[in-house]
Amino acid sequence: MTLIKSISGIRGTIGGQTNDNLTPVDAVKFAAAYGTWLKSYSGTDNLKVVIGRDARLSGEMIQNLVVSTLVGLGIDVIDLGLSTTPTVEIAVPLEKADGGIILTASHNPKQWNALKLLNEKGEFLDAEQGAKILALAEKEDFEFAEVDDLGEIITNDSYIDIHIDEVLELPLVDAETIKKAGFKVVVDGVNSTGGIAIPKLLEELGVEVVKLYCDPTGHFPHNPEPLKEHLGDICKKVVEEKADFGIVVDPDVDRLAFISNKGEMFGEEYTLVACADYVLSKTKGNTVSNLSSSRALRDVTEKHGGTYEAAAVGEVNVVTKMKANNAIIGGEGNGGIIYPESHYGRDALVGTALFLMLMAERGGTVAELRASYPSYFMSKKKIELTPDLDVDALLEAMHNKYKDEEVSTIDGVKIDFPENWVHLRKSNTEPIIRIYTEAKSQKKADDLADRIIREIKEVAGL
């Protein structure tokens, strides 16, 4: 059982002891810390916060606790109910709210839940703001409102439809072009809110939808992280249905993966590559992804005459770098598309629409599109941490070992070799070291990862 407190929010498993898991007491404490910080940050007592949740089993319980806590602080709450992470993000500025909380543990299994915290722009908090909230939660120095000053709850369940309308109004999305293409698409919504939002969007775009696990019960039919080993059902379904492709999202709909017409993974890394290819073909500009993302984005960006830069892992870091470099599209290699023309947040609805436009205009199959991109293969492995392991010293030792190569230390240690790369970093959400490698074949990527794991174990004496 685990409780992980980070600058981006609090994430933990349901049940067990307080301070060790995400119990009702912990949910109240961190909601109170956020509300208290927000009063100080905004400089007013008349606050409004947008709340939405994915469909996981503990969602309603956690939402009731969080909403009641904010009301107890004298903060008005706009309750979106079942929603998506990007939907809450766009709702905050549309409602002129002071902040937002998304109740979701993203790709984590059903026993997890989390509070993801947003500012008045509907964007994730920065490190300094997150640290202040953690300190407030530690002190538990909260002042609640008197009875006449309690906040109000305003229910608004229309925001998924509003979000879809926002996507349809994007200049680079043309519903008629997509309708004419006559696509048939299978959707795996992992029995969460993607099963509501993605089919609705597709139907608005004239796409024939085959639903798979689109009932938002919170009973995930497979591990909800959209990786190849979890997606056998949709891969088969795409072929059986003779569909053009498949769409998979995680429970809160900020990650997006495609299945080709052959029932094969398009590759989460290539979701961003394809969407960027379409956007860059229409609008000249730069791109950003994180250090653990594929080199293919750099290649496609340079093909279109733009400049690519890498940010530290984490959505807030990517967004900061995108703003600094005026990037017109960016995101993360886990299928997270950030398109500032819409908003600065990972959004599977936006990514779906951009991908459909690319396919409608290019023609051909999804398998052919994938074959047209630079071919890189990634290995994603991890080493479980032990309490006595000095991870920083371990990463420093690997840095020194490869100091003659191109090395970045803005987030862990990334070593760029001429033909491949390896990125070593501590996870922010799990007690592990992640080891990402990329090479020109799967065998080379796996072999590089295995070699680095052996070297780490030698240095650590494991």
3-state secondary structure of 29: helix
CA 353 to CA 171: how far, in whole Å?
11
Q: How many CB atoms lie within 10 A of CB 147?
A: 5
How many other C-beta atoms can be found within 10 angstroms of the C-beta atom of residue 444? Answer: 16
Q: Are 254 and 231 in contact (CB under 8 A)?
A: no
What is the strand order of the sheet 308-311 is part of?
A: 308-311, 286-290, 327-332, 336-338
User: Which residue, among 259, 213, 269, 266, has the nearest Cα to 236 in the 3D structure?
Assistant: 259
- Give yes or no for a contact between 187 and 195, defined as CB atoms under 8 angstroms apart: yes
Is 379 one of the annotated active-site residues of the chain? no
Q: CB-hemisphere CA count at 13 Å for 43?
A: 0
The token pair at 356 is: 């459909």
Sheet of 48-53: strands edge to edge? 3-6, 9-13, 112-118, 99-103, 48-53, 76-82, 153-155
Please check whether residue 313 is in contact with residue 291, taking contact to mean a CB–CB distance below 8 angstroms: yes
Looking at the DSSP bridge assignments, the partners of residue 210 are: 186
Question: What CA–CA distance (Å, rounded) separates 275 from 340?
Answer: 13
What are the Cα distances from residue 238, in Å, to 193, 213, 231, 366? 21, 14, 11, 12
Q: Burial of 55 by CB count in 10 Å (0-12 exposed, 13-18 middle, 19+ buried)?
A: buried
Round to whole Å and give the CA distance between 284 and 306.
7
Asked if 137 contacts 30 with a C-beta cutoff of 8 angstroms, the reply is yes
Q: Catalytic one among 8, 106, 294, 379? A: 106
Name the residues annotated as catalytic: 106
